[in-house]
Amino acid sequence: MTRNEHALHIGKNFKISYRDYDGTVLNAIVKPIANDDYEVFIKEKGVIIHCTKDENGALSCRLNSHGNPHWVDGISEEVAKAIMEDE
C-alpha cells in the first residue's frame, strides 16, 4: 500500500484483541488519525493510548510519560500486526 492509499484509510477504525499473560482479554478500537498516527481506546481499561509509526516502520505506543504498563506493550504489538496486515 502506498502512502497515498494509506491516507485513504484514515478514519477507518478497526478492532484488535490482546490476551494478557494472566489470561485477561483486552479489546481495543484503533482509530487512524493521520499518516502513521493512531489513537487506541482500550475498553476494559477505559483509556486511550497514542501510537506512532516511525520512519523505519516501528510502532510505539505510550500511555503516559512515566513508562508503560506491560499491557500497553502487548496492545502495541497487536496494533502493529494489524497495520502490517493491512499494508
| Domain ranges across the chain | 3-86
pTM here?
A: 0.73
pLDDT for residue 35: 84
User: What letter does residue 23 receive in the DSSP assignment?
Assistant: S
d(CA 8, CA 11): 8
pLDDT for residue 65: 64
Greatest Cα-to-Cα distance within the chain, rounded to the nearest angstrom: 40
d(CA 49, CA 29): 11
pLDDT for residue 18: 94
Residue corresponding to grid cell 496486515? 85
pLDDT 10s per residue in the chain (87 long)? 334 344 444 568 999 999 988 999 999 999 999 888 999 999 999 999 999 988 888 888 888 766 678 888 888 888 888 888 776
